[in-house]
Amino acid sequence: MQNNAEHDQVNKLTTGNLQAGEMQQQVLPFAFIRGEAIVEKPQDLFIPPDALEIILESFEGPLDLLLYLIKKQKFDILDLPIAPITTQYMSYVELMKDVKLELAAEYLVMAAILAEIKSRLLLPKQQVEEDEEDPRAELVRRLQEYEVIKRAAQNIDELPRLERDIAIANASFSTTFTYKTRAAEVELADLVTALQAVLKRTQAFEHHHIAKETLSTRQRMSDILTKLSAANGNHFIKFESLFDVSEGRHGVVVTFLAVLELLKEQLIVCQQVQNLGDIHVRLKEAEDSYDQH
């Protein structure tokens, strides 16, 4: 009866109403890693709600969740015990609701299917027509078909593939050979059309983000980054040297906005060693972020 402890856990999970406040004591009997590996957690381990969300999110849908439950309880799928499966399934769906996970309608459809099968199984035997199929058959067929594909997907993921496992060996023409592959030509209008197509599709941007003013700030941001990376990696350069007075007031403002934006995005570091001393600027390095912790 090695499953007793697990069953207890599951029972707790299914009978206990999982309000956020009780989460502290509530123990989840499993963890789900990379969609596959199932690791038993120590009983007293508290799983914070956002981790729980990740666990629940790792199910690819109702079939995946059902498969997990069946495996977890070592149920024989051919003798699918619909009652406990349904109860457990519903407890997970409740959990998903509790953590306000956007619950796909498919999960509720499956709940209805399970409930229907359960009710049909409860009917006295003689009332069921003789040639009627076991009401679980269709569900079992779907579960098995899904499992086959789930495994096939894992196999495909393990195949050696370009970029990750296979590198191509190439040789180039000698530099003295003038032949050059003709690269494709692009018209400026193509570029605009392309961007408008994206924007139309997504409508993700407000148009003012792409207004001219922002654009020149963005260009200035690029210029400053280029300047700083040309300044030998992590060397500082003088703040003033970023400005070009000949550009007039407008240019100075744009540069200043660009510096502020870069600081906000944590791409550069400004330093003033003494009060009223020179301000220096450099690219932010990887180590900088470690220092902060």
Partner 1 sequence: MISTKHLEQLIEAAVFSSDKPLSIKKIKDQLLPHYGIATPQIKQALINIEKHYRPRGVNLVEVASGFQFQIKAEHNEDIALLTEEKPQKYSRALLETLALIAYKQPITRSEIEDVRGVAVSSHIIKTLIEREWIKILGYKEVPGRPSMYGTTKEFLDYFSLKSLDQLPDLIPIEESSIVNGTMQDIIPFNIKK
**Residues within window 86-145 making contact with partner 1, judged by CB under 8 A:** 104, 106, 110, 133-134, 136-137, 140-145
Q: Out of 61, 83, 94, 244, which residue is the one contacting partner 1 (CB under 8 A)?
A: 61
Is residue 67 near partner 1 by the rule CB under 8 A? Answer: yes
Positions 231 through 250 that interact with partner 1 (CB under 8 A): none
Pick the closer one to partner 1 by CB: 275 or 292: 292
Number of residues this chain uses to bind partner 1 (CB under 8 A): 107
Q: Out of 16, 35, 49, 233, which residue is the one contacting partner 1 (CB under 8 A)?
A: 35
Q: Out of 33, 45, 78, 83, which residue is the one contacting partner 1 (CB under 8 A)?
A: 78
Contact 222, 214 (CB under 8 A): no
Pick the closer one to partner 1 by CB: 169 or 276: 169
Strand pairing class (31-33; 268-272):
unpaired
Is residue 196 near partner 1 by the rule CB under 8 A? Answer: yes
Is residue 176 near partner 1 by the rule CB under 8 A? Answer: yes
Is residue 2 near partner 1 by the rule CB under 8 A? Answer: no
Pick the closer one to partner 1 by CB: 188 or 276: 188
How far apart are alpha carbons 261 and 214 in whole angstroms?
11
Nearest distance from residue 6's CB to partner 1, in Å? 16
Region of 6-14, 85-93, 233-241, 261-269 interacting with partner 1 (CB under 8 A) = 261-269
Q: Out of 168, 245, 273, 276, which residue is the one contacting partner 1 (CB under 8 A)?
A: 168
Contact 284, 269 (CB under 8 A): yes
Is residue 164 near partner 1 by the rule CB under 8 A? Answer: yes
Contact 5, 75 (CB under 8 A): no
Structure-derived torsion over alpha carbons of residues 128, 131, 137, 139, reported in degrees to the nearest 10: -60
Tokens of 94: 């409740």
Is residue 283 near partner 1 by the rule CB under 8 A? Answer: yes
Tokens of 73: 């309880």
How far apart are alpha carbons 220 and 128 in whole angstroms?
77
Contact 62, 109 (CB under 8 A): yes
Tokens of 202: 């997504």
Nearest distance from residue 237's CB to partner 1, in Å? 15
Is residue 200 near partner 1 by the rule CB under 8 A? Answer: yes
Is residue 188 near partner 1 by the rule CB under 8 A? Answer: yes
SS (H, E, C) 85-139: HHHHHHHHHHHHHHCCCCCCHHHHHHHHHHHHHHHHHHCCHHHCCCCCCCCCHHH
Give the angle 93-97-100 at the CA atoms, nearest 5°.
140
Q: Out of 1, 37, 122, 156, which residue is the one contacting partner 1 (CB under 8 A)?
A: 156
Q: Out of 83, 149, 230, 260, which residue is the one contacting partner 1 (CB under 8 A)?
A: 149
Q: Out of 147, 252, 256, 270, which residue is the one contacting partner 1 (CB under 8 A)?
A: 147
Contacts 24+ apart (CB under 8 A), 107-114: 107/61, 107/62, 107/65, 109/62, 110/62, 110/63, 110/66, 111/86, 113/139, 114/82, 114/85, 114/86, 114/89, 114/139
